[in-house]
Amino acid sequence: MKIIYILFYSTLISLLFSCKNDNNETIKIGILHSLTGTMAISEKDVVDATVMAIEEINKNGGILGQKLEPVIVDGRSNWEHFAKMADSLITKANVKVVFGCWTSASRKMVKPVFEKYNHILFYPVQYEGVEQSKNIVYTGTAPNQQIVPAVKWFFDNVGTKVFIVGSDYVYPRTASQVIQDQVKILGGKVVGDEYVPLGSLKVETMVEKIIKTKPDFILNNINGDTNVEFFKQLRKAGVTPQKIPTCSFSVAEAELLSMKVNDVVGDYATWSYFQSYDSQENKDFVKKFKAKFGKDKVTDDPMETGYFGVYLWAESVKKANSFEPKDVLKNLGESSFLAPEGLVYIDGNTQHTWRPTRIGKINLDGQFDIVWDSEKAVKAQPYPNSRSKGDWEQFLLGLFQGWGGKWAKS
């Protein structure tokens, strides 16, 4: 099976024109993730899992009698570049769907592109909510499937004083508001709310404020390789999970490979999927992934989401009896798949995905012991119910305007 990797824009143009003019023997599928830059630590493995699903489908005869061909593009951890690549995948490579993006800043930048061409993006990562586009399928979790239950669990089991940390762009800033609303509802206190630029290693001030305010726990919305330095500096300062545990919303098994396990044992993360989840579908998924990419590789939530997203799209194509995005969009509702995490399906009203919630505690093997499980899929709420839709949209507009028409602080 051909796989087209495109890392530089100049190469992209020539290759994509040749893609458009071939004999259409295959159906081209766009994969748009960061293979370089600060987000590569998280996004590279999602590409592998997405490609694995495509290869499995091809081995089983393809879809509607045709094989799929991935066209892989590097977003370079640069939001403007994501938008350029999305446009080129649609208009030059003639892909029928795109799987990709991680940060909400990248998703916000490509959203107008997909809406302009009435195309489809499958977005595989947990996010802040406050969005609903007819051209995006949100296979990652919304706040009520991740953030809200995590806050409640920590209140019930750890304490009521929380310190929030995050990267300085739209997802962490909005997620912080969701957290603060929940803390207020539960009668707790936010003792700190600190941000660093995406990719920054300057976390000392953040750590100093944690020590000074003495929270019961930390809720972590940092993305990318800044996490490695953050946990390193916490331990250097004597902040351990036994004293002040951290619950992360963007740290999973793949990120733990870049950290010293002893630095994070006893900390937590909240996702829908962990590699340790006990189901036959997951055992088969992990076995196949390790056989293909190496026994030392791990699986995690965004990877599993990237994987099952391809199958959800494939089911919608079959229902539409067409690969054309305009036809597939009409047939997304209630498409389902028995994924490694359990049965998942697309809500036809919101194009968000029903998924379970699980909280995991990091162990010495660099895996997660699941300490809480919703035990059934949870319906996503795109707009957190702690505020009106209008209020949430005004908050987002304020961020966007305050950052000079961007989705991240410069």
Q: What is the pLDDT of residue 3?
A: 59
How confident is the model at residue 1, as a pLDDT? 61
Residue 132, pLDDT above cutoff 50: yes
φ and ψ of 352, to 5 deg: -100, 165
Q: Is residue 388 part of a domain?
A: yes
Answer whether residue 409 is part of any domain.
Answer: no
Assigned domain for 268 exists? yes
Asked if 230 contacts 203 with a C-beta cutoff of 8 angstroms, the reply is yes
Please name the residues in contact with 116: beta carbons below 8 A apart, sequence gap of 6 or more: none
Q: Are residues 325 and 219 in the same domain?
A: no
As a whole number, the mean pLDDT across the chain is 94
In tens, the pLDDT along 35-78 reads 999 999 999 999 999 999 999 999 999 999 999 999 999 999 99
| Residue 338 belongs to some domain of the structure | yes
The pLDDT, as a whole number, for residue 12 is 43
Please name the amino acid found at residue 272. Answer: S
Q: Does 75 share its domain with 30?
A: yes
Distance CA 169, CA 154 (A): 25
pLDDT tens for 311-338 read: 999 999 999 999 999 999 999 998 999 9
Mean pLDDT, rounded, for 152-174? 98
Residues 180 and 267 in one domain: yes
Query: Residue 4's pLDDT is what?
Result: 56
Provide the pLDDT for residue 40. 94
What pTM does this model have?
0.93
pLDDT at position 98 over 50: yes
Confidence band for 410, pLDDT divided at 50, 70 and 90 = confident
pLDDT of 18: 39
Residues 14 and 130 placed together within one structural domain of the fold: yes
Question: Residue for token digits 């490609």?
Answer: 51
List, for residues 190-208, the tens digit of each pLDDT value.
999 999 999 999 999 999 9
209 and 338 fall within a common domain: no
pLDDT tens for residues 224-252?
Answer: 999 999 999 999 999 999 999 999 999 99
* pLDDT value, residue 24: 53
- Claim to verify: residue 107 and residue 49 sit in the same structural domain: yes
Residue 32 lies in a domain: yes
- What are the tens digits of pLDDT across the range 249-275? 999 999 999 999 988 999 999 999 999
- Residue 361 CA to residue 374 CA, distance in Å, equals 16
Within-domain flag for 238: yes
Verify that 87 and 236 share a domain, yes or no.
no
Q: CA angle at residue 6 from 254 to 68, to 5 degrees? A: 80
Residue 6 pLDDT greater than 70, yes or no: no
pLDDT, tens only, 358-375: 999 999 999 999 999 999
Structure-block tokens of residue 297:
């590789």
Cβ-proximal residues to 95 (8 Å cutoff; 6+ apart), any chain: 28, 29, 30, 71, 89
Question: Which of 58, 220, 216 is closest to 126 using CA atoms?
Answer: 220
How wide is the angle at C-alpha 216 spanned by C-alphas 213 and 217, nearest 5°?
100
d(C-alpha 275, C-alpha 257), whole Å? 13
Maximum Cα interatomic distance, the chain, rounded to a whole number of Å: 65
DSSP characters over 315-328: HHHHHHT---HHHH
14 pLDDT higher than 80: no
Closest by CA to 177, choosing from 407, 386, 403, is 386
Q: Where does the pLDDT of residue 126 fall: very low under 50, low under 70, confident under 90, or very high at 90 and above?
A: very high
Whether 398 is in a domain gets the answer yes
Tokens of 215: 């929270």
pLDDT of residue 15: 42
Q: State both tokens at 156.
A: 């019930």
Q: Are residues 148 and 137 in the same domain?
A: no
The domain tally of the chain equals 2
**293 pLDDT higher than 50:** yes
Supply the pLDDT for residue 8.
43
- Claim to verify: residue 93 and residue 109 sit in the same structural domain: yes
User: Same domain for 317 and 265?
Assistant: no
Percent residues over pLDDT 70 in the chain? 94
> Domain limits at 261?
144-276+359-402
pLDDT of residue 262: 87
Domain membership flag for residue 410: no
CATH code of the domain containing 287:
3.40.50.2300
What is the rounded distance in angstroms from the CA atom of residue 381 to the CA atom of residue 402? 26
Residues 148 and 266 in one domain: yes
Residues 303 and 363 in one domain: no
Q: Name the pLDDT band for 172 (thresholds 50, 70, 90).
A: very high
Q: What is the pLDDT of residue 25?
A: 80
Q: How far apart are CA 180 and CA 359, in angstroms?
A: 20
